[in-house]
Chain A
Amino acid sequence: MEDENVTIYIMGKRYEVPTSLTIMKAMEHAGYRLVRGCGCRGGFCGACGTVYRTKDDYKLKVGLACQTVVEDGMHLTQIPFYPANKAEYDIEELDANIAAVLKQYPEVARCVSCNTCTKICPQDIQVMDYVQAALRGDIAKAADISFDCLMCGLCASRCPAEIVQYYVGVLCRRLYARDIAPRAQHLADRVAEVESGKFDEEIAALMGAGEKDLRKRYNERDIEPK
């Protein structure tokens, strides 16, 4: 793990950077002060989708710039934004079925099952499988498979059917959670209790308690076993 340099090409321009860096840190090392293409820097937000080729390999590869380490001879560019149509809908008027998906995103029916979306996904999500599940009306499955999606947009950038997979995914997840997953009865009960004022007195007493009293109650409170 010596800090030798590697040569990378950012949008065609050659730079020498330390071997251990991620693509994002390598770009900063090279002098880029990022505005686009940099968000959480921790693999959660999908702002830094990057496409690259490695030495002597014809294959186009992808990764999140914040999570992918540079390699010698890497040619890269970021795709920080990809134009995509998001349908605007009233979620309350939709049911968790195939009609809802096709009404909002009719292009889903154009999926040719080429699996390019799955191959490009930096999260290793079976993207095509969730698109196909949505197309079958299996909203629960589409929600489950797509759950880890960061909405980086790389799938949409490569889809020959011009589907915007990640918007289909978020629609399916919302439909699943609203209409298929059972609601939490204890939650509804508690909301009703709160609204009836059940806890107002207890909380008022705590708000009025002095620090000494609060400390005592806190230190003596019973803790639910693990």
Chain B
Amino acid sequence: MYTEAMRQSIKILEGTRAFRKTQELGLMSPDEKAQLLRDHHPDYKGEQQRELRVGPSRGDRAPHEIADLIEARSLVDPEDFDLSRIDHDVDVLVVGGGGAGGAAALLARESGASVLLATKLRFGDANTMMAQGGIQAADKSHDSPSIHYLDVIGGGGFHNDPALVRALVIDAPKVIGWLEEMGVMFDKEPDGTMVTIHGGGTSRKRMHSARDYSGGDIMKVIRDEVLNQDIEVIEFSPVVELLTDGKGRCTGAILYNMETQEYSIVRAKATVIATGGAGRLHVQGFPTTNHYGATADGLVLAYRAGCELAFMDTIQYHPTGAAYPEQIVGQLVTEKVRGLGAQLVNGEGNRFVYELETRDAESAAIIRECTERNLGVVTPSGMRGVWLDSPLIEEIHGSGTIQRLLPAMYRQYERFEIDMTADPILVYPTQHYQNGGIVIDDQGASQIEGLYVAGEVAGGVHGRNRLMGNSLLDIVVFGRRAGAAAALRAKETVPGELGLDHVRRYHEELEKNGVETTRRAPMLLPDYRPDELKSHLITIGS
């Protein structure tokens, strides 16, 4: 339900709709875009980042919120920790219960490995489940993996790892086929042709979808299939530390049962980290689209074990997070809304950016509109945003389109008495994706023997900016590759010694480099209790 002031602003927007409907707005020039990013993208605020003082990527820059977790001690004390009882002895341990973890578990099992999948929340409580817009693949005749390649690498600012981009685009048709075969309900024409649309930064319409629960349907199908297979799944049990042998190889991990607080030891011939992103760190205080468990756990653990990180100074802010109503601030308004023709409009009723620029540029343009130009719309809580003129979708594609193609979005707003088919919605950028992450090769292998990495926690695939629809693709492509590679390694390896030398060394390095801290990581879960309450807690027991 909109306030009177917001209603007035909507009137202004409605007044310009007929003109805007036929208004042509082009892509900005490369120079304009570079300038816009420098001036208004949050990644370019130098004081919001710092150089890492320890570890393999020492000297690289990262946001303070991530650096704080990297420059932290382990949750376990390597000098006093009993590793003698092996509770789970498996070929492959998969850490993380999202799409990448699920895909890795399936491929590892298919390759004959015994598999344990451990996850911090429920299996499927992951960003995959929330991905609405779609998944890219160049499977139409006027498109090709090479055109997809160029879109990916251009979108990433030409910084992407070419071998990873190749893997992404060349596997894309195959993984869509794999999902289709498993029973994902892709949107199709009556003859079976995939319905595909544009996304920001695509030069061909190659965004496949399953209504606007694209990730949800993929996740539910993968989860269903994992549960059909002989794969052990342990929920509410995050990994709190990796285990290594004397030669720095990863040989297993320590699981922590969040409900009983008991730990257990997993010995694994290969371990796949698929723990997702970092939205719940709320970099620079931004709200986030991410699920409750997105706290960079795997990133911290792999780094401590000796893996380099790439592009940790870039975070993707999704241009269109909800800015109103208050209850859903930060939640995703899928890019598909713009893909279908909804325009971004400022408080004066004017468009200010072409709607299908890459996400970094869209976000910077919205921030500029709300700060420097002061043309945003103010909400009752004082937040600023710009309008996303969703009723245009109904005008362009016919009435009923939003409920048919964007049921999740429609429902989200309807719950708060906003009818997005009749009224625009207010948006502002929200922390969405970790562009960088752990360095991997095209088989998903990290720099540590025995450790594989897939999905958002890895870095290099997307360079400095990921395109819409390439994350669902990434998790399936690299989940599968990492799972298969881990199973292959398991066949060629005997179980290793279990130790915590890497933790001991890391603690020494912290001290040597003057990082005096009581911080411990990984964080596992954010804490949203009020400060006043937290100052009145009693902790019982040790």
Contact = CB atoms under 8 A, between A and B. Distances in A.
Interface string B179-211: 011111110101111100010000111000011
Given A42-B332, A170-B224, A188 B185 contact: no
Contact of A39 (B225, B292, B407): B292
A45 B124 contact: yes
B166 A203 contact: yes
A40 B529 contact: no
A47 B228 contact: no
A101 B128 CA distance: 27
A39 B194 contact: no
Interface string A155-199: 000000000000000110111111001111111111100100001
A55 interface: no
B31 to A, nearest CB: 11
A148 B228 CA distance: 22
Contacts of A206: 146, 149-150, 153, 162
Contacts of B527: 33
A186 B292 contact: no
B205 A224 contact: yes
A207 interface: yes
Contacts of A194: 145, 170, 173-174
A40 B292 contact: yes
Contact of A188 (B144, B177, B236, B259): B177
Contacts of B174: 191, 194
A218 B125 contact: no
A222 to B, nearest CB: 7
Contacts of B408: 43-44, 148
Contacts of A28: 528-529
Contact of B139 (A44, A123, A187): A187
A217 B181 CA distance: 35
B45 to A, nearest CB: 26
A1 B533 CA distance: 25
Given A40-B291, A187-B173, A207-B163, A35 B139 contact: no
Contacts of B139: 184, 186-187, 190-191
Interface string A91-126: 100000000000000000000000000000001100
A123 B292 contact: no
A174 B183 contact: yes
Contacts of A148: 211, 213, 407-408, 411
Interface size range of chain A in the complex: 35 or more
B533 A31 contact: yes
B138 interface: yes
Nearest to B530: A29
A184 B195 CA distance: 10
Contacts of A34: 292, 525
A56 interface: no
B122 interface: yes
Interface residues of B, number: 88
B142 interface: yes
Contact of A20 (B149, B292, B327, B528): B327
Contact of B380 (A1, A40, A173): A1
B326 interface: yes
A41 interface: yes
A21 B88 CA distance: 42
Contacts of B121: 38-39, 47
B292 A91 contact: no
Nearest to A35: B258
Nearest to B195: A184
A90 interface: yes
A207 B162 contact: yes
Nearest to B181: A178
B217 interface: yes
Given A186-B194, A207-B162, A202 B146 contact: yes
B46 interface: no
A190 B173 contact: yes
Given A40-B291, A218-B154, A202 B144 contact: yes
A193 to B, nearest CB: 8
A175 B221 CA distance: 11
B165, B181, B327, B341: residue with the most chain A Cβ atoms closer than 10 Å: B327
Interface in A138-165: 143, 147-148, 150-151
Contacts of B30: 215, 219
Contacts of A36: 236, 259
A41 B146 contact: no
B528 A44 contact: no
B373 interface: no
A41 to B, nearest CB: 6
Contacts of B217: 147, 173
Contact of A222 (B146, B170, B203, B529): B203
Contacts of B327: 20-22, 25, 67, 69
B295 interface: no
B227 interface: yes
B81 to A, nearest CB: 23
B350 interface: no
30 contacts: A1-B380, A25-B528, A33-B525, A38-B292, A39-B291, A39-B292, A40-B129, A43-B408, A47-B122, A69-B327, A86-B227, A178-B182, A178-B183, A184-B192, A186-B139, A187-B180, A190-B138, A190-B173, A191-B173, A194-B173, A194-B174, A202-B145, A203-B145, A203-B149, A203-B166, A207-B166, A215-B154, A221-B203, A224-B142, A224-B198
Given A31-B530, A224-B204, 20 more contacts: A1-B380, A31-B529, A39-B291, A41-B291, A42-B331, A44-B130, A45-B125, A45-B126, A91-B228, A147-B217, A151-B124, A173-B221, A177-B183, A178-B181, A184-B176, A186-B140, A194-B173, A202-B144, A203-B146, A218-B154
